[in-house]
Amino acid sequence: MKFRSIGLSLRFIVPLALVLALFGYLVIPLMDNFTVRWFVRDLDMRSQLLARTLQDPLLEYLPQKASGRINQLFDRAIQDERLYAVAFCDPKGVLRYKTATYPVSLGCWHPLVGDPEKKSLVRLPQGPVHVAESELMQDGVDMGRLILVHDMSFIERRSADTKKYILGFFALLALAISLITVLVAHLSWRGWINGVKEVLRGELMPRAKVETPPDMQPLAGDVRQMLRDYHFERQSDSGSGTGTGIEWTGDTLKDLLQQDLAGDQVLVVSNREPYIHEFKPDGGIEVRRPASGLVTAVEAVMRACSGTWIAHGAGSADHQTVDRHAHVRVPPDHPSYTLRRVWLSPEEEQGYYYGFANEGLWPLCHIAHVRPVFRSSDWDQYVKVNQRFADAVIAEATTDNPVVLVQDYHFALLPRMVRAVLPKATIITFWHIPWPNSESFGICPWREEILDGMLGSTILGFHTPFHRKNFLDTVDRYLETRIEQEASTISYGGQLTQVAQYPISIAWPEPDPDALSVAECRARVRTSLGLPLDHMIGIGVDRLDYTKGIIERFDAVERLLELEPSLIGRFSFVQIAAPTRTSLDEYQNFEARVRKLADRINARFSVGNHAPIILKIEHHEQEQLTVYFRAADVCMVTSLHDGMNLVAKEFIAARDDEKGVLILSQFTGAARELHEALIVNPYHIEQGAEALQKALTMPPVEQRERMRSMRRRIKDFNVYRWAGRMLQDAARLRQRDHVMSKIDLHSRVAARRRA
């Protein structure tokens, strides 16, 4: 403690002492110079005065040639300790009279030519002297010159003394300032520490009345926020009982399902199915994986728990590949769970999916400046389809208390509908997109119905604490509920919903000995694009959605080439854009804008066949995406708003060479975890261009440092952990309900016996 406080004091004192020493070093020669000048001026005046005093007797004695009297006069004059010698020269310049002390080497001394003041400093072997001459005139006749020599050594002595005083003064000043600074710093330090302690006390004991001093307020705000984040992280970790030490894999998840949810049925509900069967032009059938973050994540869970996944059968050959219960076992190569397809009519799909979900809720929850559209007819279909899926869940349930995992904004009403028939079910609803602030959400004409539907869930999950808090605020504003902020629970209609954050992630890839090396991927991608092997490549992978910031990304590429023309013809940005919701006007317009912008930039900056933007609007297989990720020098994720964004994490997972740079929008959930990415505001085009330039010139050591740290985090915080934490929380709540119903049963039996 003592050492730390000495260290703290030294931190103030050392720079202060250095600055003062430097100041002293510069000031002392200056002061020296001033002192000398000052004394010289003094001696000049003195010499003139003396000359005038000696002039009259001398002019009297000179014609008499009274050398004895003259010498006497001179000797008397030099009784003065400072006047060292006096001499007289006749008009011809012959030295006639002088005191014994007069330095012979001076002779008939003349001031330097051009010295108007006729005075000078002369350094003699016996020390420095000041010499001044004065012309003697009588009735306009030149009688000769009087030369007065003053001793200057006393000035050197005084100058040395002055130096000592100045140094002493600065030392004292340094000491005084240091002491005051250290004292003030220690007092402030103690004040801050006490302030932080107060803030902590206020946070931990909400009832303790704590006033934050005004100068502490900015710091207090930050401390409170950090504390809350930490609290919630801990809460969700300790709630799951695992801490952060556990390594989450598919097997861990399987073990968890077998131990904590032994024999319990797991049902997943999502709009998008994980496998789509499509007819090929030749009449054959092929299976496709959709481009969806949700599917990527939940698929990993289903493989581990082998339950039933209920989803909309949207593929052209889906009907042909299911049994009479609309079931098909998937994945097709080694089936491990059941896919139950729900069939929707075109009107249902239009109203529920395209209309209410994607023209209403999607823009409502994403702040991307696209106006939500709410039509009553869409809402009716949304209610109807939610009921149809709820019926499918109820039909698939083989027990009265299944674990139901409801995915996303397509099914806001379903939890309440399932709960109505299966009150003991554990319903976990995960909202994959952001939750806006209460005011923004308030524009939805059916806001109360949506919130009511969602609160049919046992657990409600969001990606970030921010979305979770927005949800609590929204419920607080529009429904009559009891909210426990500390425990993050909502009590509504006699039922409790736990609201928590579970940041989603990806399945960490298993090492694959057959996988192409990074060098092979780099060569393959460049060759297939007709680019030289040393061509630099940026990559973007998204659904072709207006929330993903593709326009802003292209703008940043264009700005980069304006700022750094040496990159023209040496850098290309490959944008993979999987078509999505193509029947909606908003998406068609967006695609047209993206294409037009790419064409314009390419027309401006293409060199031969090397276009700066390579736009691939088509679906790609996951393996192809990995090759692109591995081949790229930089990956750009510039979403205007995104719940999490899995592409950022997939890029990191693909880079086992620990190279490549991630540029990441600050408006993604992922930005809360991936601090080592180059974080940008996608609306700030200049910043995006600068980040690209930084990424393309980043030294490999720095790339490795950043990549290594992000890889470690994603490996730990993978999708199994995401699902595991949710399922463990579910198991804990089920266990509590189980105990409560046993207690209830015992007390009822006891009451009956008593009766």
**Interface ranges with ligand GDG (CB under 6 A):** 289, 291-294, 296-297, 432-433, 504, 541, 543, 576, 578, 619-622, 625, 642-647, 650
To ligand GDG, the closest distance from the beta carbon of 548 in angstroms equals 7
253, 246, 241, 310: CA torsion to nearest 10: -20
Q: Are strands 482-484 and 489-492 parallel, antiparallel or unpaired?
A: antiparallel
Ordered strands of the 95-98 beta sheet? 95-98, 83-89, 141-151, 127-138, 119-124
**Nearer to ligand GDG (CB atom), residue 396 or residue 650:** 650
- Taking the C-alpha atoms of residue 390 and residue 420, their distance in angstroms, rounded to an integer, is 10
Q: Which residue has the tokens 């709410």?
A: 374
| Alpha-carbon distances, residue 562 vs 344, 558, 566, 601, 611 (angstroms) | 50, 6, 9, 11, 15
Q: Which residue has the tokens 């005038």?
A: 52
| Alpha-carbon distances, residue 135 vs 1, 93, 132, 147, 151 (angstroms) | 77, 12, 10, 9, 21
| Residue 712 exposed, middle or buried by CB count within 10 Å (0-12, 13-18, 19+) | exposed
How crowded is the C-beta side of 362, counted as CA atoms within 13 Å? 18
**Nearer to ligand GDG (CB atom), residue 174 or residue 300:** 300
**Nearer to ligand GDG (CB atom), residue 144 or residue 363:** 363
- Phi and psi dihedrals of 234, rounded to 5? -65, -40
Q: Which residue is nearest to ligand GDG (CB)?
A: 293
**Nearer to ligand GDG (CB atom), residue 621 or residue 702:** 621
- Phi and psi dihedrals of 656, rounded to 5? -70, -10
| Residue 485 near residue 491, CB atoms below 8 Å | no
Q: Which residues pair with 311 in a beta bridge?
A: 341
**Nearer to ligand GDG (CB atom), residue 47 or residue 505:** 505
To ligand GDG, the closest distance from the beta carbon of 578 in angstroms equals 3
**Nearer to ligand GDG (CB atom), residue 88 or residue 628:** 628
Question: Using the 8-state DSSP alphabet, how is residue 212 labeled?
Answer: P
Q: Which residue has the tokens 């719940």?
A: 643
**Nearer to ligand GDG (CB atom), residue 307 or residue 643:** 643
Could you tell me which of 455, 532, 535, 529 has the C-alpha nearest to residue 495?
A: 455
To ligand GDG, the closest distance from the beta carbon of 232 in angstroms equals 19
Q: How many CB atoms lie within 10 A of CB 114?
A: 5
To ligand GDG, the closest distance from the beta carbon of 365 in angstroms equals 9
**Nearer to ligand GDG (CB atom), residue 84 or residue 430:** 430
**Nearer to ligand GDG (CB atom), residue 96 or residue 619:** 619
- Phi and psi dihedrals of 119, rounded to 5? -140, 160
- Taking the C-alpha atoms of residue 177 and residue 417, their distance in angstroms, rounded to an integer, is 73
**Nearer to ligand GDG (CB atom), residue 102 or residue 628:** 628
**Nearer to ligand GDG (CB atom), residue 20 or residue 617:** 617
**Nearer to ligand GDG (CB atom), residue 136 or residue 541:** 541
| Residue 447 near residue 478, CB atoms below 8 Å | yes
Longest C-alpha distance within the chain, in Å?
156
| Alpha-carbon distances, residue 579 vs 206, 262, 323, 582 (angstroms) | 50, 41, 30, 7
**Contacts (Cβ under 8 Å, ≥6 apart) of 340:** 308, 309, 310, 311, 325, 326, 327, 392, 396
Could you tell me which of 290, 313, 320 has the C-alpha nearest to residue 385?
A: 313
CA 322 to chain centre: 49
To ligand GDG, the closest distance from the beta carbon of 11 in angstroms equals 45
To ligand GDG, the closest distance from the beta carbon of 292 in angstroms equals 5
| Residue 648 near residue 619, CB atoms below 8 Å | no
| Residue 460 near residue 500, CB atoms below 8 Å | yes
**Nearer to ligand GDG (CB atom), residue 433 or residue 698:** 433
Q: How many CB atoms lie within 10 A of CB 174?
A: 19
To ligand GDG, the closest distance from the beta carbon of 691 in angstroms equals 19
